[in-house]
Chains A and B, each alone.
Chain A
């Protein structure tokens, strides 16, 4: 079996981009096997097919995995794996060309975005703010400016990603009406 590895970086909020990427790969004859580490995607050669990939973020589902996966299985979705809080599913597009998704109304799509925001970013931000100031003082008092620069840069990047998603979330929320 011919295999292929690809490095691809998606932020925690770019699950739609990631879904599209996996669908395009399958369309061009590369079936997704797994993702590990820092965005290392594994594929195996397959017959090109239009298959919809969907990511769900549901902590509740992960703690009640049996019944969670049963629901998707009942509805014809193949479960692939979990990765950084997301669960990966796929389903072939039907003969009539209808591409299904795992969410069928705006409320539940929005609710998933909320889960991503709350479940992932908020606790991490709290940790960041609790720990970072101490680091800065330490680096500055030891004149370790380079480390302070990189640590500051990482925090800034983190905040920017968070802010972008928050704006997207609010746009989505108001467009819905």
Chain B
């Protein structure tokens, strides 16, 4: 993993985390917005400017890849590199969660 990927994705922003999490199955930007809204009971509402910018940046970083277009919506899926950074991030969050539990 190169330095740029490490710097941007370890740790990553909440937006990047949700995008990678949702793209373990092919989906488009708006699909991710809906999934995250449902997962968090409406607490997190991703917005189009952030989504569009993040998706194209993450595609350039090769953590997600373009699959096909459907009804003007670009469908993406996570790459092997994306899965790798997502695993690292999940372990990091698990560690934090454990600490929160112990310190409560």
Contacts and interface: CB of A to CB of B under 8 A. Distances in A.
Interface of A: 54, 56, 58, 60-61, 64, 66-68, 70-72, 74-75, 77, 100-105, 107-108, 111-112
A135 B46 CA distance: 49
A105 B52 contact: no
B72 A108 contact: no
Contacts, number: 70
B48 A105 contact: no
Given A60-B56, A67-B73, A111-B57, A103 B49 contact: yes
Nearest to B59: A60
A105 B73 contact: no
A159 B29 CA distance: 38
B53 to A, nearest CB: 5
Contacts of A112: 49, 53
Question: What is the predominant secondary structure among interface residues of chain B facing chain A?
Answer: helix
Given A75-B30, A107-B15, A67 B69 contact: yes
B62 to A, nearest CB: 16
Contact of A100 (B30, B47, B51): B47
B20 interface: no
Contacts of A74: 29-30, 33, 48, 73
Given A60-B56, A111-B57, A102 B50 contact: yes
B3 interface: no
Interface of B: 13-15, 29-30, 33, 45-54, 56-57, 69, 71-74
Contact of B52 (A61, A66, A100): A61
Contacts of B49: 54, 56, 58, 101-103, 108, 112
Contacts of A102: 47-50
Contacts of A72: 48, 52
Contact of B72 (A56, A66, A100, A105): A66
Given A58-B49, A74-B48, A74-B73, 12 more contacts: A56-B49, A58-B53, A71-B51, A72-B48, A75-B51, A101-B49, A104-B15, A105-B15, A108-B15, A108-B53, A112-B49, A112-B53
Given A107-B13, A108-B15, A67 B74 contact: yes
Contacts of A64: 74
Contacts of A101: 47, 49
Nearest to A108: B50
A88 B94 CA distance: 41
Nearest to A111: B53
Contacts of B33: 74-75
Contacts of B73: 67, 70-71, 74
